[in-house]
Structure 1
């Protein structure tokens, strides 16, 4: 895995001090796999301060997203991406240490104002929106507050699908089909997919069916739905399970949304590199 990731790591700057050993990535991965506090990281992978600073710095400058894009490009070159994708979300409980995120400074300016933290009866929570390919591996990820709906975040997470070409040509941003549950059944989402020439495999909830039948001929035709193709929607559920095997992602302890999303990108990188 390291042989595939090492060439994608940032090169030493032209001026200034060189990077320390990039194997501090192991320390970051160990922290989120075990959900250990930063100060309790073992000494073998390196200083926890270096690992923490590097996680945030590369989140701010987009390094984690660039590495994931390079791995996706290599996978697409050998037809290792299933372009029948599935979309879903999952709620993650936030630890009490996530409260009181800093609101000033350069790191806060690049993060979201709400830090993707929502408060409900169950306490603080964050929602992960995931697009998984046909092999149950992450393709695009975004985070919102825990009480946010699935449908409003659909276009945002779909816009994050961007797989560069290894040769000439623009990055691929459109899957062949999108599989989703009834929470994503809306005219706005179906219209968005239709405009981008993407096949929608989304069932209608019972209230929408009754409303359409009550309007008779004014209700229009029912949207097409392939029940057999929809059985493959379990790929996104399996993708969520793979992410939540990382205990530091199953329970959020990061204050900044940009840091937590960087950890999600790192998990996606290692999940895809493991193959």
Structure 2
């Protein structure tokens, strides 16, 4: 994630060479600054960079992030900013924040953008109200249960609150719906707590999917599946039993269990 202060300092002291433009990812403008420096001996670019520095320093953090850091669909990582808000440090934090989470394969429709719970959840997430964000994201899934970015954001929020099992469930769900930016799963700061778990390597080898129970015997105690569902497919039956088992173990709330169950039986 780019820093407004760093960009302003680059513009103030090295702006004549276009360093701040390269830093902000504006390669074309950076090359233009270098060219103007050569032909004007730095006079023109010196004035331009001074103006750029003033603009950058006067810009709010929110506007700077929106212009140079934010990308549509997912919340930016907040892992390395937790200490500034009184949150306890998480295990093995990375040294630098990462760019906002995106996935080229996620196509957000105009109807999804208007999901009020998703919008409110992202706002609360950025304000470090993680419990409130989780609550809104879960409600957002009731409206759009196949929203990949909502599942990914929920996984990040659960990771930050150290609810690892739920984080794995929503990563699994996001991947099953088409999420394939696996590099983000390996580098996104807000998923650091998920990655330091012993089972992450096996989870990664399995294509970021949770393994189904290998054998279900008569002695295995699992809740009865409602007869009105008329489940004929063995694989669907196994998935429903797995959800019921997670609910009984306390890893899924009743509300989350019903949401996931509706997704499978549609």
Q: TM-score, normalised by structure 1?
A: 0.30
The higher-RCO structure (CA 8 Å, 6+ apart) is 1
- Determine which structure has the larger strand proportion and give its number: 1
Larger Rg: 2
